[in-house]
Structure 1
């Protein structure tokens, strides 16, 4: 596995170093002897996968989204964008935007353009690349709102460095169309990507389920803004076939090696920024797991607590429930009990070879449960909710032996937490469970919270915060856009609202 990753990374980098002679007299000067003269779409696809999941994980996923969702906390100012709604210096609010376009967005577009659409042998590769492009772009638009979409890579292909910003409404319409068309074109009888597909190794049937599961996620995202449209796409996705079995979940696979790009981005970023020293006290960015999160897990006797959290006890990682204690969000100084507060478990979360769960049976079952509550699905909402809990707890076994939760504990938790009450009460339970089940996929949790309002989180209101003491609704466009693409940016802001963390994106507006 390690050798395969290293080979793919080196080749993917070489594949991006394409060249084009601009004048006959300069052909010799323009040829890079170490670069591939033709883009290899298989290798470019591998690079897009690696860069998409590794994009600004710590600044965006942990600090901005994870802090806002009160999974993570920090007592320091600079990394307090999500914890305190501070933005005093650094690039945290726009890292995902600037990095995403120069890496994964460009790479997946290059993959698609390098595949000859007229060649039937490329049908599956094109469809898979289109599905993954939707995944990349929906993460960006959910964070920022209106973004360059239809012209997003023309800076590379047409020297257009001032692409227009598409409306999020138009982006969602196109992404759902793309998923509809791409899933329909997948054919198990035709060749696909091989081991360079780090998610499914080219398994077309499972990519089809992933495509429909993304359709279900995006369709449900519109449930408040455009319920009729949402219902149509939710029903189409369910009819197409979604991920409900553990064996079909979409995971990005990593290895423990010397090259950072091969490592799980959650583990790599958290170890390098906060948890490099295993003593509970030398946390560079002042980070710990949040009190809101730990308290919720303890209050529900949730067995996931013991695979998620540890405290350092006499130099050893201790998962004992009684010892777990989270740090409150919004602190301005290091608390006296900081060394004994809960941190991510080094035996699970901080493993370099841990997977990143892109789409799970847990999430899909929670979406099905919500669809059932809405009357958009004829299945059992209560059954899907229980199945989601079981799937989520079993997922932790993917992180190693330290993540295994005994079946009897899973069954006991399911029995103690049935989906009950009126429609709104059930939606609250679904939102609360998604907040736990999708832990580490903080961007999706943040998006779901903005859509549903669940779980009910109490914001902090620290002097000097930029949101008036409200949880951020979006991140910020980068200053570089103001200088390079000012007209397009100004048009987007005039439609959407000020470039503030309190401005709601289209699907989040009442």
Structure 2
């Protein structure tokens, strides 16, 4: 035994060593590249940024609280009844997807002067990712985010005012650095195909958006950034509209994520009387469209009616459209089938485009700038342009959705700009119209503009057991896991923002 033992130890040690090596090899994906390909990673960052937590955040939380959607059920009633904060947690997952992805792109191209455009566009897209995060949560990890591979596992939270200052600085520098003589992303860029001129307009458009966000906290900075954005040139022409095209194919990732999300939840079975999440379009939203004779009603909304064979078919007749009241029901309403829902021929198409940033938003912001004396163009004309572009953009959803010019003119004649009204009257008209125009495309901006301006005017609900005391939510709740994994920085940020991590606490610019 004494002679055998040393050999046994040697054999066991060798075996353990080989097993360990085998396990390490098994843990490596042979089909994965260890080198970042900037174009591929940028494509992924674009897709993940726009689609992150869509159902939980945009549809159930913001859509309900902004009274464009409603539900009779309690579990999905994050916005409808202010009853569930957990859906807001998941937007934080952008840190594990889009944030890391765009940081990898930037790291891969930062040292190569020939790839200045790739870096500059990535910086602009990083602003898009982070401005959405900070607008939802307030103080967030920013300067130390996306650095886990470098050993930063507990990033500090930066004050939103500091984050905003850097976001605006990044847009300014990146827009100037764009160079038409250098290569770009080409087809890897799903929005503009690498078009430098359009990305410059996109950068200044984000600058206009963020600059106007400062009106209640730093009016001088707001004016300065708005003027700079206008001088740089923003997205105003239809051809410059930022959008991602999707296709109706077998690959789920190629389908429009909004249509996929809604069809996999409430509208999975068009012949079912009930919906999975109990959702419909909201009474506030539908009534506004009907009361203003808005031609988008027939493009956006349908009521399912039974035909002679007993089959449900979509009907766009205006008089039939009826929205479901927010927080009215807690069990299946007998008239549930009579409430309006999204049009399957437009919004629920897998090949519908996603509109990332539109001229109608820019015209609206410019109209406000005009009202404030920061832009020398008549606000009434800018409002008209905002309406025209908002109506025209539906043509991107197919000929079925195209709105004829005579219907646009009829809407404008019935809803002229409130030129003789007060500043607030005009602001209300501008942002109530934008509330309609951004429906199911950018609920995040609807939520941000409502918090900053107070428009559209919404009547809060007070459902029993709600989490806000019967007030419309003001922000998202940082996931409670942060207290476990990054507790010291998390608690410091909470105290800095009023001491509560709740739907009722406010971000810095929401004064």
TM-score for the superposition, normalised by structure 1: 0.92
RMSD, matched Cα: 1.6
Distance 1:478 1:146 in 2: 13
1:376-434 CA-to-partner distances (Å, cap 9, x unmatched) read: 11111111111000101111111122211111111221232222212111011111111
Following superposition, the deviation at residue 282 of structure 1 comes to 2.8
Distance 2:25 2:437 in 1: 56
Distance 2:22 2:273 in 1: 62
**Consecutive aligned runs of 4 or more in structure 1 exceeding 6 Å deviation:** 23-30
1:268-310 CA-to-partner distances (Å, cap 9, x unmatched) read: 1011010011136231000000000000000000000000000
Q: Cα–Cα, structure 1 residues 312 and 28, in superposed 2: closer, same or farther, change >3 Å? A: closer
Unaligned runs of 5+ in 2: 1-19, 307-311
1:423 equivalent in structure 2: 423
SS at match of 2:229: helix
Following superposition, the deviation at residue 119 of structure 1 comes to 2.2
2:6 equivalent in structure 1: none
Following superposition, the deviation at residue 499 of structure 1 comes to 0.2
Name whichever of 267-276 and 410-419 sits farther off: 410-419
Distance 1:381 1:166 in 2: 36
Alignment of 1:14-25 (within 5 A): none
Asked whether the equivalents of residues 303 and 338 of structure 2 are also in contact (C-alpha less than 8 Å), the reply is yes
Alignment of 1:1-20 (within 5 A): none
Alignment of 1:390-469 (within 5 A): 390-420=388-418, 421-440=421-440, 441-469=442-470
Counterpart among 121, 135, 152 of residue 128 in structure 2: 135
Instruction: Work out the number of aligned pairs and report it.
Output: 482
- Does the alignment pair 1:57 with 2:54? yes
Counterpart among 491, 496, 502 of residue 500 in structure 1: 502
SS at match of 2:155: coil
Asked whether the equivalents of residues 274 and 336 of structure 2 are also in contact (C-alpha less than 8 Å), the reply is no
SS at match of 1:508: coil
Alignment of 1:221-370 (within 5 A): 221-279=213-271, 281-314=273-306, 315-330=312-327, 331-370=329-368
Asked whether the equivalents of residues 292 and 414 of structure 2 are also in contact (C-alpha less than 8 Å), the reply is no
Q: Cα–Cα, structure 1 residues 28 and 390, in superposed 2: closer, same or farther, change >3 Å? A: same
Name whichever of 178-187 and 329-338 sits farther off: 329-338
2:7 equivalent in structure 1: none
Asked whether the equivalents of residues 162 and 485 of structure 1 are also in contact (C-alpha less than 8 Å), the reply is yes
Larger-Rg structure: 2
Alignment of 1:116-265 (within 5 A): 117-155=110-148, 157-265=149-257
Following superposition, the deviation at residue 327 of structure 1 comes to 0.3
Distance 1:190 1:260 in 2: 34
Distance 2:28 2:292 in 1: 63
Asked whether the equivalents of residues 280 and 341 of structure 1 are also in contact (C-alpha less than 8 Å), the reply is no
Counterpart among 84, 101, 112 of residue 95 in structure 2: 101
Q: Cα–Cα, structure 1 residues 40 and 415, in superposed 2: closer, same or farther, change >3 Å? A: same
1:13 equivalent in structure 2: none
TM-score for the superposition, normalised by structure 2: 0.92
SS at match of 2:304: strand
